[in-house]
Amino acid sequence: MSDWVHAFLGAMLGMVPLVTALLCAPRVWPTGLRIAGFMLALAVVITAMGCPRAVRRGSVRLANGLLGTELPAPLESASEEPSRGLWINRLRTAGWLVPHMALGMMVTALSCLLLLSAVTFASVWLGGGGAVDAFGQTLRVNSGLPGLWAVAAAAGCLAVAVAVCAGAAAVLRLLAPVFLDHTPAERLAAVEEQMRQLAQRNRLAQELHDSIGHTLTASTIQAAVAGELMERDPDAARRALSSIEETSRAAMDDLDHVLGVLREGQSPRTPQPTLGDIGLLVERVRRAGAEVSVETVGALDRIPATASRQAYRIVQEGLTNALRHGTKTGIALNVTAQDGWLSVELTNPVDAAAGCFRPGERRGQGNGLAGIAERVRLLRGEVSTGVTESEGGAGEERSGKRWRLAARIPLRSAP
C-alpha cells in the first residue's frame, strides 16, 4: 500500500510540469515546434521544482517512509552544505523527480485501469453475464460456472496491478541513493558536524564535572561543619545548612541546564560564569569554612569571553582541590591580566599528615588536574602544578610547603 501511495504522490506532483508544458505548446504551432516547446517547458519546470531545499528534504522523507530506504537527511542549512554541491544537489533532486513522477503516473494510470477492469469482470459475472469491452476487445461473460473465468481475470488484473506497483517501487529504491544520497563532500561535512557536536558535548560534560564537583565538595565540608556546631553554636550550624541549600540549588540549575542542552543537542544559550563571578565562587568556599585571600590585577572584565570562562573553571577546580585535599587555611588566589597574558595562581598549605595531591594520582572518580591541563592546552597556554617551598607567614603549616597551581593563558591568541 505504501508503494502505491508513493506512486500516487508522484503522479500528483507530475501534473504540475505536465499541464504547464501542455500550455506552453499550443496546438496552433507546427508539430516540431510544439514538441520542442513541450520538452523545453517540461525540463524547465522540473528543474525549478528541484531547486527548493524543502523538495529534497520531502523526497528523502517520502522515500524513507514509503519505500523503506535509509537515506541520510539532507544538511539543514546552506552554510553546512559544500558550495559546489548546492547546484549539483538541485539538479540531482530534479533528476529524482523525473522517474518519481513518470513511474508514479504510469503506476497510477495502470492501477486505475486494471482495478476498473477487475471490478467490471466481477460485477458482470455476478450480474448474470453479459458483454465486456476490455482492452479493445468485446468479451462475452456467461453466468455460473461457464463464466467463472471472469473471476480469474479479475484476480489477474489485481495481481498485475500489484506487480506493476511493486516493480516501479523496486526501480525507485535503486534510483533513490543515486539522486538523494549524500555526495562525498556532504558526507565529510556531516562527519565534521558530528565531531563538532561530540566536542561540544565533551565540553559540557567537563563543565558539569567541574561545577557539580565543586558544589558537592563544598556541601560535604559545610555539612561536617554544621554537624560539629549543632550543639554548641546552633546559629552557625543553621548558616551552614542554609549555605548548603543555596549551593545545592545552584548545582541543580547547572545540572538542569546541561542535561537540557544534551537532550536537545544545541549549544548553551544561558550565560556561562566568567572571572567576573569569582566573588560569588570565593564566597561559597568561605562559607565552607575555608580561609581564602584574593588578589586581582588588571581589567578582568576586558578579558576575551572564552579565556574568561575557562579561567573561571580553572579557579573553581583549583579551589575544589584545595578544599578536598588541603587544610582549608591560608588559601591564596592571584589573578593577573597584563602584558597580553592571563595568569592564575592558587596556593594552599600542604597537609603533612594527609599528604598532597599530585598530578599522577586519582582520588575517587575525579579528573580535575587533567581537565585543567586540557583547558589550558586548548587555549595555547601553559600550566604547572606541584609542591613548592613556602616563604613563611601567618596561617601556614609547619611543614613550610604549599601546593601551587599556576596557569598562564595568552589573551591575544585565545580562540
Residue 334 has pLDDT above 90, yes or no: yes
Which ranges of 326-393 would DSSP assign to H, the alpha helix? 368-378
Helices 2-23 and 31-49 cross at an angle (nearest 10°) of 130
Confidence at residue 406, expressed as pLDDT on a 0 to 100 scale:
92
Confidence at residue 396, expressed as pLDDT on a 0 to 100 scale:
44
Confidence at residue 352, expressed as pLDDT on a 0 to 100 scale:
53
109: its cell numbers:
494510470
Confidence at residue 85, expressed as pLDDT on a 0 to 100 scale:
56
For residues 356 and 369, what is the distance between their CA atoms, to the nearest angstrom?
13
Confidence at residue 310, expressed as pLDDT on a 0 to 100 scale:
84
Q: Domain 188-270 belongs to what architecture?
A: Up-down Bundle (1.20)
Confidence at residue 336, expressed as pLDDT on a 0 to 100 scale:
92
Locate CATH 3.30.565.10 in the chain: 289-415
Residue of 385, 380, 383, 369 whose CA lies nearest to 340? 380
119 vs 200, residue with greater confidence: 119
Confidence at residue 278, expressed as pLDDT on a 0 to 100 scale:
87
Tell whether the torsion through CA atoms of 226, 231, 236 and 242 is positive or negative.
Answer: positive
Q: What is the mean pLDDT of the chain?
A: 78
For residue range 243-298, list pLDDT tens digits in order: 776 667 666 666 666 666 565 555 455 567 888 888 888 888 887 778 899 999 88
Confidence at residue 349, expressed as pLDDT on a 0 to 100 scale:
86
Confidence at residue 235, expressed as pLDDT on a 0 to 100 scale:
79
For residue range 65-103, list pLDDT tens digits in order: 888 888 888 876 544 454 555 678 888 888 999 999 999
Q: Name the band, by pLDDT with cuts 50, 70 and 90, for residue 398.
A: very low
Helices first, then strands: H and E counts in the chain? 10, 7
Residue 356 has pLDDT above 60, yes or no: no
Residue 197 has pLDDT above 70, yes or no: no
User: 325 vs 156, 352, 362, CA distance in Å?
Assistant: 84, 11, 12
Strand boundaries in 226-330, DSSP class E: 292-297
Q: Name the band, by pLDDT with cuts 50, 70 and 90, for residue 204.
A: low
Mean pLDDT of the region 396-414 = 73
Return the percentage of the chain with pLDDT > 90, whole number: 14
Class of domain 289-415 (CATH, top level)? alpha beta
Locate CATH 1.20.5 in the chain: 188-270
Q: Name the band, by pLDDT with cuts 50, 70 and 90, for residue 129.
A: confident
